[in-house]
Amino acid sequence: MIKESLRAQRIETPSWAYGNSGTRFKVFAQRGVPRDPYEKIADAAQVHAFTGVAPTVALHIPWDKVDDYADLASHAAGLGVGIGAINSNVFQDDDYKLGSVTHPDPKVRAKALAHLLECVDIMDATGSDTLKLWFSDGTNYPGQDDIRARQDRLAEALAAVYQRLGDDQRFLLEYKLFEPAFYMTDLPDWGTAYAHCVKLGPKAQVVVDTGHHAPGTNIEFIVAFLLREGKLGGFDFNSRFYADDDLMVGAADPFQLFRIMYEVIGGGGFTERTAFMLDQCHNIEPKIAGQIRSVMNVQEATAKALLVDREALAAAQRAGDVLGANAVLMDAYNTDVRPLLAELREESGLAPDPMAAYAKSGYFEKIAADRVGGAQAGWGA
Ligand code: PSV
Ligand code: MN
């Protein structure tokens, strides 16, 4: 039963994780980095080949702009993967200095909306059913713009995108406490995102990026609440020590990841309707291996969450046995699930240790030698 669930797990990797990334101080180039979306997808296919649970890759537009999206989708299919969520980008154009869909100038708002609608066209062309919307919109100074008017503008744009969605398409609305706006963000938290989604209807859901909260926020509570309301669309998984660090998921706080997966499973969210996506940047570590490690971290947290003896837990809860209930959860968390996952992989014809198998495959040496010349994909390209 546990193995069956683990076999059915799907984790989506982001195209941008394979490109160069960094901070505002420095982007460090790495050898073998893809020059175009086709090469990014080839790298994503490696993550799937060695883990068996990462069959889709998310695109970010315009970073992954191509002339023929149907061709990109068939390139992906040829490598054994598919196109996942389409991520919009209304944060990297000079016009968006004061916002995109909440900008005071209607011309800028129209431009941003046109981009969002173009992303739905790309969903049509690639067969993707999920649009992910994140807005960097906000203000830096009190009084800079009218908070309520900006909410009206946001609602108007979201409604227009919602109308454009096909029957089998949905959008996931992403919130983030701060950055790049430092005083007020137009979608700062799950409550704001939730309120907009509730108004729109079932095709609008909230996505929880695990790096987008104030320190100390109980993310699993948000997960439990959203699931209960049918509004949890998925995750952007990553780790943070300080703010939106975009480190490998499970690196900073594997216990938090376990607690999140425990709520997902208990709340009936462990289905293909919940998008388990990674949103990470490997600034200093190798990228494909970094993705493989992250996928394994999600698998391990999931396996532990599946191991929780829910009957024993419910009995302890009913009896008001505080320590007993906590022990049930901790027993599962403290179980070493690596042998179970290794066994599962071998049963599926995979190597038991994806990190070692990838390292041995020679793929990195090959791309490092082949991908010479051209412009490496990176932050902003
Ligand atoms: C914003 O910080 C974010 O989490 C959004 O998902 C963006 O699309 C992504 O990062 C870009 O890396
Ligand atoms: Mn994100």
Residue 45 backbone dihedrals phi, psi, to 5 degrees: -65, -30
Per-residue model confidence (pLDDT) at position 319 = 98
Q: Whose CA is nearest to atom 6 of ligand 1?
A: 134
* Cβ–Cβ < 8 Å for 377, 63: yes
Domain ranges of the chain: 2-308
Q: Angle at CA 322, nearest 5°, toward 327 and 230? A: 85
Among the residue ranges 1-5, 147-151, 288-292, the one predicted with the least confidence is 1-5
Answer whether 102 contacts ligand 1 (Cβ < 6 A).
no
Candidate from 236, 245, 281, 287 with most ligand 1 atoms within 8 A of CB, to mutate = 236
Q: What angle do CA 215, 229, 326 make, to 5 degrees?
A: 55
Question: Does residue 275 contact residue 235 with C-beta atoms inside 8 Å?
Answer: yes
CA gap 346, 193 in Å, rounded: 42
> Do residues 200 and 159 make contact, with C-beta atoms less than 8 angstroms apart?
yes
- What are 304-355's pLDDT values in tens digits? 999 999 999 999 999 999 999 999 999 999 999 999 999 999 999 999 999 9
Distance (Å, rounded) from C-alpha 307 to C-alpha 301?
A: 10
Does 168 have pLDDT greater than 90? yes
With a cut of 60, say whether residue 381 has pLDDT above it: no
Strand locations in the chain, DSSP E? Answer: 13-14, 56-60, 82-87, 130-134, 138-139, 170-174, 184-185, 204-209, 232-237, 275-278
pLDDT band at 253 (very low <50, low <70, confident <90, very high): very high
Domain 2-308 maps to which CATH number in 3.40.50.150, 3.40.50.880, 1.25.40.10, 3.20.20.150? 3.20.20.150
Angstrom distances, CA of residue 323 to CA of 280, 330, 331: 36, 10, 12
- Nearest ligand (C-alpha, residue 234): 2
Q: What is the pLDDT of residue 379?
A: 73
What does the DSSP assignment read for 239-281?
A: B-SSSS--BPTTTS-HHHHHHHHHHHHHTT--STTSEEEE---
Identify whether the C-beta of residue 164 lies closer than 8 Å to the C-beta of residue 120.
Answer: yes
367 alpha carbon – ligand 1 mean position (Å): 26
pLDDT band at 1 (very low <50, low <70, confident <90, very high): confident
- In this prediction, residue 375 carries a pLDDT of 95
Per-residue pLDDT tens for 89-118? 999 999 999 999 999 999 999 999 999 999
Could you give the CA distance from residue 20 to residue 287 in angstroms, rounded to a whole number?
A: 9
Tens of pLDDT along 132-151?
999 999 999 999 999 999 99
Rounded distance between C-alpha atoms, residue 282 and residue 285, angstroms = 5
Residue to mutate (ligand 1; options 134, 136, 277; most atoms within 8 A of CB):
134
Q: What is the pLDDT averaged over residues 358-373?
A: 98
User: Whose CA is closest to atom 12 on ligand 1?
Assistant: 279
In this model, does residue 380 exceed pLDDT 90?
A: no
What is the Cα–Cα distance from 107 to 254, expressed in whole angstroms?
45
pTM: 0.98
Dist. CA 162–CA 61, nearest whole Å: 18
What's residue 6's pLDDT?
Answer: 98
